Structure 1
Amino acid sequence: MDAAMLGGRVAAWSYQRGWHGRLSVVRREVTVSGQVLLPAPLVIGFASDFHAGPTTHPGVFEELAAQVRRVRPDVLLLGGDYVSLGARHVDQLRDCLGALSAPLGVFGVIGNHDVWHGRAPIEAALREAGIELLHNRNVALPAPFGMVSICGIDDPWTGEPCVPAAFAGAGPVRVFLTHSPDGLHYVDGETFDVAFAGHTHGGQVARADGTPMARPQGPLSRRYCYGSFDLPDNGPLIVSRGVGCSKLPLRINADPELVVCTLRSQ
């Protein structure tokens, strides 16, 4: 596959013609239920599925970093699949990762492509960039948002996800971070105010109305392929189309995106 992409030249040709799509900012609003009052609206940025490697031109990473600098979210979440076709390709992300910052922190989880291609060097590069990885654990945000916990799990299918560990001791406002919507399989009674997932790319190639031409593997990834979904007894699940390209250096009617979600009290 790497050879078929001519060392990234096919991706460069696609990107220059606009066939990676145009990266946009997609805004969402979530109201936190219950009696907990946030001291102010909390702006969460979410980016996923970078797929650094021969199928994604690095120009899209520069676009993402520019949008993060423009939007300036309070906290930034990363949803995994940082590479495709080899952990060595994380080197293409170093400048982008170093530019991703937020005053309350940057947190990430690992995706299936990262597990397949050797997660250790990928995790090392993320930590070197100041990104805190949430492997079945949670972390409270700094003051004045100490009541908000980011709860992250390992990849639902290729990793070792443990939702009870991810939610143990979490605060009253809980943000669930999972690479794919199939992380919901393991929730088993845990509650959260909002969940973020990627993995699906919104199909990556879709009809004009956004309907995917082919849905991803995983029953919940097929059901929740793109958008915001109300879940019973929990907050919404927000599924991003992600940033990069997998398998083919091409996006049609499934543009890359940075999700910006504002959490507000009732």
Structure 2
Amino acid sequence: MNAALLKGFVAGLSYRLGGLGKVRVTRQEVELDPGRRLAQPLRIGFASDFHAGPTTHPAIFGDLLAAIRAEAPDVMLLGGDYVCFDAENVTVLADFIAGARAPLGTYAVIGNHDTWNGRTVIEDALRAGGAEVLVNRNVALPAPFGDVSVCGIDDPWTGAPSANATFAGAGAVRIYLTHSPDGLYRLERQRFDVAFAGHTHGGQIALPDGAPLFHPSGPCSRDFCYGRYDVSGNGPLIVSRGVGCSGIPLRLNADPELLICTLR
């Protein structure tokens, strides 16, 4: 596949012609229940599905970083699938990972492409850039958000997910970080206030109204392909289009996305 894509030449051409889309900022707001209100709003940045390698031109990561710096979220969440084909492609993301660090921290989970291609290399690169990798565990944010926990689960299908471990000892306000919407399928009756997922790319190629031409596999990924979804007994699940390309270097009506969510 690397040879067929001319070692990234096709992705570079696609980027210059607009075929990889333009990074867009999407905004969401989530109101917490009265018993779990925050002292001040928390601005969360979320980006996913980078797919560094021959399918995604590196310039898109610079565009994304510029958007993050302009938005200046309090905390940054990374949703997995950092590479395509080879774990060593994560080196392309080194400047992005280091540059995207937020005041309250950067937190990352692992996706299926990372597991397939060598997750140890990818996890080491994330840590080297200052991101905290969450594999079935949670961390509390610094003050004044000590009651807020980021709960990151391993990839729902290619990893070894455990929701009970992910949420063990979590604070009153729980941010659920999962690579794919199928993290809902692995929830094991745990509670969250807002969940973030990628994996679907919003179809990557969609109709003008945003309806995907191709739905990803997985019981929840098929139904929750892009956007905001109410989840009974929990807060909303917000599914991003992601950033890079999988398979072919083309996005149509599914632009790369930086999600900014304000938690109130």
2:36 aligns to what SS in structure 1?
coil
Cα RMSD (Å) of the superposition? 0.6
Cα distance in 1, alignment partners of residues 94 and 70 from structure 2: 20
Count of equivalent residues: 264
User: Which whole-Å deviations, capped at 9, do the CAs of 1:200-226 have from their partners, x for residues lacking one?
Assistant: 000000001101001011121010000
Per-residue deviation at 1:37? 2.3
User: Which whole-Å deviations, capped at 9, do the CAs of 1:208-262 have from their partners, x for residues lacking one?
Assistant: 1101001011121010000000010000000000000000100000000000000
TM-score normalised according to structure 1 size: 0.98
Per-residue deviation at 1:88? 1.1
**Structure 2 residue identity aligned to 1:143:** A
4+ residue runs over 4 A deviation:
none
Structure 1 counterpart of 2:135: 135
- Equivalences for residues 1-266 of structure 1 within 5 A: 1-264=1-264
1:121 aligns to what SS in structure 2?
helix
2:185 aligns to what SS in structure 1?
helix
**Structure 2 residue identity aligned to 1:96:** F
Cα distance in 1, alignment partners of residues 217 and 186 from structure 2: 17
Per-residue deviation at 1:172? 0.4
Percent identity between matched residues is 62
**Structure 2 residue identity aligned to 1:223:** D
Cα distance in 2, alignment partners of residues 34 and 229 from structure 1: 21
The question of whether the paired residues in 1 share the 8 Å contact of 2:185 and 2:219 is answered with no
1:35 aligns to what SS in structure 2?
helix
Cα distance in 2, alignment partners of residues 95 and 151 from structure 1: 25
2:222 aligns to what SS in structure 1?
helix
**Structure 2 residue identity aligned to 1:203:** G
> What 5-or-longer segments of structure 1 have no aligned partner?
none
Per-residue deviation at 1:34? 4.0
> What 5-or-longer segments of structure 2 have no aligned partner?
none
**Structure 2 residue identity aligned to 1:32:** L
Cα distance in 2, alignment partners of residues 228 and 74 from structure 1: 21
Cα distance in 2, alignment partners of residues 177 and 245 from structure 1: 21
Cα distance in 1, alignment partners of residues 3 and 85 from structure 2: 11
